[in-house]
Amino acid sequence: MTELAAAKAALKTQAVETPSWAYGNSGTRFKVFAQQGVPRTPFEKLDDAAKVHEFTGVAPTVALHIPWDKVDDYAALAKHAEQRGVKLGAINSNTFQDDDYKLGSICHPEASVRRKAVDHLLECVDIMDATGSADLKLWFADGTNYPGQDDIRGRQDRLAEGLAEVYERLGDGQRMLLEYKFFEPAFYTTDVPDWGTAYAHCLKLGPKAQVVVDTGHHAPGTNIEFIVATLLREGKLGGFDFNSRFYADDDLMVGAADPFQLFRIMYEVVRGGGFSPEVAFMLDQCHNIEAKIPAIIRSVMNVQEATAKALLVDGDALRAAQRAGDVLEANAVVMDAYNTDVRPLLREVREEMGLDPEPLAAYRRSGWGEKIVAERVGGQQAGWGA
């Protein structure tokens, strides 16, 4: 098989999970701008996600967020998904929107609040059992705003204790994916602020605990591909939350702010054997001002383009230049792949998959956007609050 053929084969197996909440309204602390046609229920979110998969062919699963996507009958939800051609993916917990969580959840100074938070996480595992989801994705808003507010180390102890209880509850084939974040909504300390902290906890928990890299959750200037390479080397990379940022956790469309960085990340994924089912590729974005479904289709395509370029890096030439200490040539090999316009290749891949080569145009022609605006009238639009 030629390199190009191998790249195409790999691209056809790619899977990018889309998050249910990205189909709902989102915004900043200043304003949430509602959009027409936004889903009112988890079922409608799945309908939208199915459209993304229908036109891209590489978005077969949908992440749920509890309680935003809480339903009485998860089997019915799973069946609804399957009927539309997608499956339920990771279960995302939420321990930041209850009034009790003002000073934290799993790290809260009061045992009763910690109990409530852990119970929620255990409930999420119950839901995984019901949905067949393999991954419990944990992000904690826990932290403090002021020096002295709480005991930094004590909070780590509480975190470790809570995670251990949840870890014990995991069944076969279930994993815990622990996400770190530099800051926000806490503004002084964050209890899992960097990959090192997430890694240290996962290491103690055991093999079912893995680290999630959200590409918007780092200090300015952080070399994310280094972290990816390191976590893969340690066998602790569980997945990605993709998005892009110019400043903080901006949650823009992945690839929109620094497409070269996304390419470098995907190159380390490929190089480190991370292009595999063990590493989950998920989007986690906020489409505050742009149309949501087209933005998600564009994001999936951006991941594809970065992946295609990463797959095209001439490994033999690169290793030869690296061994020779030829800085410019090694860099040139990488840049040659990056500078390639891979859109024709991806059009071919789509056609071979029986898809329209232009997902966005095909989606627009489908009339889905107009249909949901017309039909989804009344009710409560989904958003971060519901």
Residues 97-116 within binding reach of a copy of itself (CB under 8 A): 97, 99, 101-103, 109-110
If the CB atoms of residues 123 and 250 are measured against a copy of itself, the closer one turns out to be 250
Residues 203-242 that bind a copy of itself (CB under 8 A): 203, 218-223, 225-227, 229-230, 232-234
If the CB atoms of residues 95 and 131 are measured against a copy of itself, the closer one turns out to be 95
Answer for the pair 275, 310: CB distance below 8 angstroms, yes or no. Answer: no
If the CB atoms of residues 59 and 252 are measured against a copy of itself, the closer one turns out to be 252
User: How far from 104 is each of 94, 165, 167, 185, CA to CA, in Å?
Assistant: 12, 18, 20, 11
If the CB atoms of residues 72 and 316 are measured against a copy of itself, the closer one turns out to be 316
Answer for the pair 202, 136: CB distance below 8 angstroms, yes or no. Answer: no
Query: Residue 75 Cβ, how far from a copy of itself at the closest point, in Å?
Result: 31
Answer for the pair 94, 68: CB distance below 8 angstroms, yes or no. Answer: yes
Task: Kindly determine how many residues on this chain lie close enough to bind a copy of itself according to the rule CB under 8 A.
Answer: 104
Residue 107 three-state SS: coil
Residues 42-81 that bind a copy of itself (CB under 8 A): none
Using CB under 8 A, pick the residue from 83, 260, 365, 379 that binds a copy of itself: 260
Using CB under 8 A, pick the residue from 112, 341, 378, 380 that binds a copy of itself: 341
Residues 13-32 that bind a copy of itself (CB under 8 A): 26-31
By residue count, the chain amounts to 386
Applying CB under 8 A, the span of 8-16, 38-46, 52-60, 254-262 interacting with a copy of itself comes to 254-262
**CA 331 from chain center: how many Å?**
29
Residue 190 three-state SS: strand
264 touches a copy of itself (CB under 8 A): yes
Query: Residue 341 Cβ, how far from a copy of itself at the closest point, in Å?
Result: 4
Q: Which is nearest to 62 in space by CA: 73, 51, 75? A: 51
Q: Which is nearest to 190 in space by CA: 215, 218, 209? A: 218
Q: How many CB atoms lie within 10 A of CB 242?
A: 26
Q: Which is nearest to 50 in space by CA: 22, 80, 93, 70? A: 80
CA–CA separation, 215 and 26 (whole Å): 19
CA–CA separation, 281 and 248 (whole Å): 21
If the CB atoms of residues 43 and 182 are measured against a copy of itself, the closer one turns out to be 182
User: How far from 30 is each of 27, 180, 285, 288, 289, CA to CA, in Å?
Assistant: 8, 25, 18, 11, 13
Read off the amino acid at residue 264: R
Using CB under 8 A, pick the residue from 4, 76, 248, 374 that binds a copy of itself: 248
Residues 270-329 that bind a copy of itself (CB under 8 A): 271-272, 288-291, 294-295, 298, 305, 318-319, 321-323, 325, 327-328
Applying CB under 8 A, the span of 46-54, 92-100, 166-174, 365-373 interacting with a copy of itself comes to 92-100
Residues 156-195 that bind a copy of itself (CB under 8 A): 156-157, 182-185, 187-190, 193-195
Query: Residue 134 Cβ, how far from a copy of itself at the closest point, in Å?
Result: 26
If the CB atoms of residues 63 and 128 are measured against a copy of itself, the closer one turns out to be 63
Query: Residue 347 Cβ, how far from a copy of itself at the closest point, in Å?
Result: 13
From residue 124 to residue 153, what is the string marking binding to a copy of itself with x (rule CB under 8 A)?
Answer: -----------------x---xxxxxxxxx
Read off the amino acid at residue 163: L
Residue 57, phi then psi, degrees to nearest 5:
75, 0
